[in-house]
Structure 1
């Protein structure tokens, strides 16, 4: 589970350090490496139960429930802290590949099981998220079959990841150039050079 809200406040943010994962980062299959808020390394060590890394699957249990994303192997940071509305699953890779479990929770069946214990009163939330997650049964083929499946889909996932990174680069370029174009500081003729 993520830390109590009082452990991560705006006053604790710093310019760089350990990034905090929020629901904004859980919009697709993989962690969306957008802009982060950061806390210091020392502060992150005090929140060691909320530290996550590549291969962990992050879930939102309050607010936009049903969000699920895997931290990919080629993530931007060695570790992260999850916010108070998240919880995570770390797979025993001898039994289950994180990619397989991530796809399960993105499926209609997986989303149904994840949201089966949801309350829509007030802020949507999953009651007892850790206990609920532990109680969800997943049909797991033998690890060898999961590895074969992953070898088949890995090239497609690499293309997907590459496209996502390129899209982020293009959005950043657009965000840098568009204000300059709109203000007249830069013209379209200048861009062709």
Structure 2
């Protein structure tokens, strides 16, 4: 609209706009294509959840209920098996601050940018190598992510160096309460978090746990990558399908399920 401070289209003009409306058959074929992508994405998500649940159950069996291999012959004193120890998070894996990186400062690349809600974008360089645990500091306080590839944690999160980021630690952190009742401002206080107590298993038990759950997480990471590729492919197809740019006439119409 000319003469307006903000570009807009008067409502009176809307009835005169021509829009492309596919036939009912084409609409059903388009829906079938999109549903196929959504179904694959949902299937991958269910498989990821099952793999993560298997790792979580094993953690609870070994380190909460203390039914780890050989537990029958190990003495437990005050909840700590012989040869194990209790240490603070600060002693085991100090939290490091992410770095500010506004959306306008990010450059096109394949490096995932992590905020407290997970991956919030991409960048052309990493702040930390792959295999790091990311912990929400502001917003989604205490949220946990494991980045298998090099990543860029921003200033709303902490991260733990890959050398200390084990799958055991990831599970142990998920059982901690990161919210301090004394905090005046909502957020994760690093000094408070560093004082939280963790059970440190004997070396051979910790190594056995990593050996068992690493393949589970490896499968989950692969499925997550596939899920993102499927979502990108679906989103790229959508405008072409809706505009009629892609011919769907050769796609069989979905048949109604028998009653």
Using the size of structure 1 for normalisation, the TM-score is 0.67
Residue 140 of structure 2: which of 64, 69, 86 is its match? 64
Counterpart check, 1:99 vs 2:99? no
1:115 alignment counterpart: 179
Corresponding residue of 1:161: 221
**Counterpart Cα distance in 2 of 1:146 and 1:178:** 47
**Structure 2 runs not aligned, ≥5 long:** 1-96, 253-259
Instruction: Specify the SS of the correspondent of 1:103.
Output: helix
CA contact (8 A) 1:61 1:87 kept: yes
Identify the structure with bigger relative contact order (alpha carbons < 8 Å, sequence gap 6+): 2
Work out whether 1:14 is the aligned partner of 2:114.
no
2:227 paired with 1:134: no
Q: 3-state SS of the aligned residue for 2:197?
A: coil
Q: Deviations over 1:157-193 (max 9, x none)?
A: 222122211111111111111221111111333568x
- Structure of higher CA gyration radius: 2
Distance 1:10 1:153, change over 3 A: closer
| Mapped contact 1:62–1:125 kept (Cα < 8 A) | yes
**Deviating runs (4+, > 4 A) in structure 1?**
117-121
Q: Does 2:99 correspond to 1:23?
A: no
Kindly indicate whether the alpha-carbon contact (under 8 Å) linking 1:70 and 1:98 is maintained by their aligned counterparts in 2: no
Structure 1: tracts of 5 or more residues without a match: 26-31, 45-50
Matched, 1:125 2:193: no
Deviation per residue, 1:125-183 (Å, 9 max, x gap): 12xx3212221111011122111012122222222122211111111111111221111
Aligned with 2:230 (options 163, 166, 170): 170
Contact 2:133/2:144 (<8 A) preserved = yes
**Is 2:129 the counterpart of 1:53?**
yes
1:54, 1:118 → 2: CA distance? 34
Q: Distance in 1 between matches of 2:215 and 2:144?
A: 21
How big is each residue's C-alpha offset from its partner over 1:102-138, in whole Å with a ceiling of 9 and x where there is no partner? 11122xx32x2x22357586xx312xx3212221111
1:182 aligns to 2:246 (yes or no): no
